[in-house]
Chains A and B, each alone.
Chain A
Amino acid sequence: MTKSELIAELAAANPHLLSRDVEIIVQTIFDEITAALARGDRVELRGFGAFVIKHRDARTGRNPRTGDAVDVDEKHVPFFKAGKELRERVNRNAGRKRRAVTSSDNAADRL
């Protein structure tokens, strides 16, 4: 799903809003998360996850093609850690499939 598809689906679910407004709302959310991280803040959305900044020390890297040593400056990287609820929802499909196999095995045993 892309951002425009997300906007279209939300607009369809909220017919009282103009799709242009939905677009501004979606854009505002992600712009504000970006701005918060740029300020050095963390963004915590319970049940969904948290966006945090991780610090990476300066290091000597290598050009993978030539093998030359290159200095890499220290930097900050954005990192997302999925919340418990979302992590479980994402993993639920795999779990459901495994459980489905087990229950059909049991059914086979009974026959």
Chain B
Amino acid sequence: MTTVTRAHLAEHIYSQVGLSRHESADLLEGVLEKIAATLEEGHSVKLSGFGTFSVRQKGRRTGRNPKTGVEVPIMPRSVLVFRPSQILKNGVNEGSGTKRMKAGREA
């Protein structure tokens, strides 16, 4: 399993579109920054065919330090959730996962 990073994605943009490597990296950063800024304002970002990033408000609750068992209050906070689209979910299962499933059924 390899890890895809910004550099890989920028290289991909460079090979797909006629932009310089530098500009490809800038544009990638621009896309990520735009998404981050929108989420920071509390708005969701819907990318059809990929998924939706949204901000969810969590209320105050009492947590526990799992090591010491001491109760600690967890303050109200905003958390980011990503809901993958059906297309992305299907894409993920058409990969190696599907092959493994088929092999399992035949066995």
Report whether chain A binds chain B.
Answer: yes
Contact with A along B32-56 (1 / 0, CB 8 A): 1011101111111111111101010
Contact with A along B76-94 (1 / 0, CB 8 A): 1111101010011101111
Given that A3-B48, A29-B31, A86-B39 are known contacts, is A40 also in contact with B96, CB under 8 Å in the complex? yes
From B1, B40, B75, B93, A76 is in contact (CB under 8 Å) with B93
- A43: which B residues are within 8 A, CB to CB? 3-5, 9
From A13, A28, A98, B75 is in contact (CB under 8 Å) with A98
Given that A13-B30, A82-B80, A86-B39 are known contacts, is A74 also in contact with B104, CB under 8 Å in the complex? yes
In the complex, the chain A residue whose C-beta lies closest to that of B55 is A90
- B104: which A residues are within 8 A, CB to CB? 74
Majority-rule SS of A interface residues: helix
From A21, A75, A90, B78 is in contact (CB under 8 Å) with A90
* Interchain CB contact under 8 A, A91 and B79: yes
Given that A13-B30, A24-B17, A29-B9 are known contacts, is A91 also in contact with B78, CB under 8 Å in the complex? yes
